[in-house]
Amino acid sequence: MSEEIKRGIKAEDLYHLKSLNDPQLSPDGTKVAFLQTEINREKHAYKTHIFVGNLEDKEIRQWTFGEVRDSSPRWSPLGESLCFVSNRYGKSQLYIMNASGGEAKKLTACLNGARNPIWSPDGSKILFETSLGSEENILDTEKKKEEQEKQLEPMVVDRIRYKSDAVGFLDDKKQHLAVVDVKSGEIELLTDGATDYSGGCWSPDGESITLFANLTDEPDYTLISDLYIMSLKDKSLHKVTNSKGFFSNSSWSPDGKYIAVIGHEREYDSATLSRIWLYGVGVNSLICLTSEWDVEVGDVAIGDFHSGNVNPGIVWTNDSYGFYFLMSDQGSTGVYYGSIEGEMYPSLFENQHVYGLTVDGEKHKAVLAISKPTSPGELYTYDLSTGDIEPFTNVNASFLDRIELSDAKAFMFKAPDQWDVHGWIMKPVGFEEGKKYPTILEIHGGPHAMYANTYFHEFQMLAAQGFVVVFTNPRGSHGYGQRFVNAVRGDYGGNDYIDVMSAVDYVLENYDFIDESKLGVTGGSYGGFMTNWIVGHTNRFKAAVTQRSISNWLSFYGVSDIGYYFSEWEVNGDIISNTEKLWNHSPLKYVEKIETPLLILHGEKDYRCPIEQAEQLFVALKRQKKQTKFVRFPESNHELSRSGNPKLRIDRLNHINNWFLEYLTNE
């Protein structure tokens, strides 16, 4: 019998692939709960369910069902029940399910939903987040009914931050913290007022919690996130950090002596490395444990398959001396072990993307979610003491057995100023020696993010169509130290542009299968800015696709949800006193020089890089009768490629694919 001929990935294969996320070990370390997300092809809708696997016999059972999205599975301290968030009856609310089986019980009925459940140490209460307006009560359903029935009213804006790419236009609602009694269902609101609060963790004695907030007089201008300790007895707050930077992901040591937290003091604004800090509760001291370690703590890898990855933060061992965490370096993410003495050791660091971590702090065993360029993502059991690792799931194996994927081969080269730059090259599916292929340069967003050794659906689709795919981490990217990530600030279109163009020079010199006359370039967000910049400064590329891009920093300053401070931090210009700086770094200034056929893709409800950025570019090109096309995606924000409507995600991929096929393969 002849061997089955495998095919490459298509955009539509998103309907076949399953995403695994947010693994959570039970307290006794014998079971793991996790999320599995797939797409209903008929409804073009996501569904996310909770699965629970037994680590001893490897049996995996589905616990929740239906055309719903469940999230945040969290075991009770004794493991007898599981709390989770679900939108099964509209607004997302907390539910609780007995570990021995049975129906899920609805635990909250909050006016504006509930999220991020955190169990108290004794299992009697759950801390969670909700949203409330100035005149709303947490359970005021009648108020909600009246609100739905009232007529349209003008929106009155009196603050500089009045919209968000994540939620749209902001009203007077703020995020607050509450606790629900598991037995009675009674809810106590812990915070109020015109401030957003986010949850942290419980103290081991259950008498305090940590939280994050910006309690400065002008939060729209100070742009910080401080760590606080709240006494649940009188709701008093003790401030831990000093209002200089951003902190999140707190974790209290089991003995109650320390709080570990991830953050930075904004020394380089948005380009500052996140580090591990340790607060001594009894002695009221805060120190940075990784101040001399030139590494980003956390997962900053860019991908287009998983969305909503959960940062595990600092996971303590039972002895309160050590902890585990994720870190990003050199295009990979891995697991490290640290101690209160400041020791940092790799536990698992290979050429892969660890995007999920849960640890048994007594047995030093873990369950990891891992992706590689040829693996969308599976769960693995890992012995942190011995290094033994075994696959636990294989949800995508049966489909991928029929698919040929292209691996990514890493390379390193010297930029003209001798800075080291890291990149990857993927051969086309069905590669033949001696043949030359059209090649596409991909540029990531951020810019403070990192291409990684992870699965990228867009890249695999292009490789399946006969394209070589090249992607790099130019300066400004995370993963290569503080100096490298900060180097792009004030220099957009400078040495970062030279880095990506030098990558093209390098692959042309070192790989003889690239057709130099058939080069394409694409990228999204900052990668869209760079795509626009490239085609305005060189005609080297035969086709380009710019996605959710920036074309004009002058208008971006006032229309983006982050425009006023991002422009100042990143471009070092502002609309009042330094307009020339913004205009000089704007691709629109150089639009007359663009000759490359340019496809423009943008979401209608993108408030991060608003669609007017695309409109200006399109009209300027059309006015010159240049070769361009503009595709607008309805009801889509900046996250279209990762978590947007499944049909539109696929439409986007096919538009990219067809544009490059038209201009790079047709003679």
- pTM: predicted TM-score of the whole model, two decimal places: 0.96
* Predicted confidence band of residue 5 (pLDDT cuts 50, 70, 90): confident
At 106, which amino acid appears? Answer: K
* Predicted confidence band of residue 2 (pLDDT cuts 50, 70, 90): very low
| Residue 51: its H or E element | strand 45-54
Measure the CA angle with vertex 173, ends 172 and 179; round to 5°: 150
What's the whole-number mean pLDDT along residues 313-329?
97
Is the confidence at residue 170, as pLDDT, over 90? no
Q: Which residue has the higher pLDDT, 622 or 306?
A: 622
**DSSP secondary structure string for all residues of 385-434:** TT--EEE---TTHHHHTTB----EEEEEEE-TTS-EEEEEEEPPTT--TT
What's the whole-number mean pLDDT along residues 290-301?
96
**Angstrom distance (rounded) from CA 554 to CA 468:** 36
Which tokens hold the place of 372?
A: 């590689």
What's the whole-number mean pLDDT along residues 642-661?
97
* Predicted confidence band of residue 443 (pLDDT cuts 50, 70, 90): very high
Neighbours of 504 (CB within 10 A): 22
pLDDT at 143: 55
| Structural contact between residues 288 and 506, judged by C-beta atoms closer than 8 angstroms | no
What residues are paired with 60 via a beta bridge? 53
3-state secondary structure of 6: coil
Is the confidence at residue 144, as pLDDT, over 80? no
On the 0-12 / 13-18 / 19+ scale of CB atoms within 10 A, 648 is middle
Can you count the helices (H) and strands (E) in the chain?
13, 39
What's the whole-number mean pLDDT along residues 157-167?
90
**Angstrom distance (rounded) from CA 490 to CA 271:** 12
pLDDT at 307: 83
| Structural contact between residues 413 and 423, judged by C-beta atoms closer than 8 angstroms | yes
In the chain the first and final C-alpha atoms are separated, in Å, by 39
404-551+586-664 carries CATH number 3.40.50.1820: yes
**Angstrom distance (rounded) from CA 564 to CA 562:** 6
Asked about 134 being catalytic, the answer comes back as no
At 285, which amino acid appears? Answer: S
**Angstrom distance (rounded) from CA 368 to CA 382:** 7
- Chain centroid offset of residue 26 CA: 25
**Angstrom distance (rounded) from CA 309 to CA 300:** 10
Is the confidence at residue 3, as pLDDT, over 60? no
At 537, which amino acid appears? Answer: H
Is the confidence at residue 393, as pLDDT, over 60? yes
pLDDT at 238: 97
* Exposure on the CB side of residue 523, measured as CA atoms within 13 A: 29
Pairing of strands 628-633, 598-603: parallel
pLDDT tens digits along 514-544: 999 999 999 999 999 999 999 999 999 999 9
pLDDT tens digits along 577-624: 999 999 999 999 999 999 999 999 999 999 999 999 999 999 999 999
Candidate list 560, 638, 641, 655, residue with the active-site label: 638
* Predicted confidence band of residue 450 (pLDDT cuts 50, 70, 90): very high
Candidate list 92, 251, 525, 555, residue with the active-site label: 525
Asked about 422 being catalytic, the answer comes back as no
Query: Rounded to whole angstroms, what are the CA distances from 178 to 230, 274, 297, 598?
Result: 12, 28, 29, 50
Is the confidence at residue 312, as pLDDT, over 90? yes
Query: Rounded to whole angstroms, what are the CA distances from 196 to 23, 175, 212, 223, 420?
Result: 28, 5, 8, 12, 41
pLDDT tens digits along 490-514: 999 999 999 999 999 999 999 999 9
Q: What is the mean pLDDT of the chain?
A: 95
Is the confidence at residue 1, as pLDDT, over 50? no
| Structural contact between residues 74 and 119, judged by C-beta atoms closer than 8 angstroms | yes
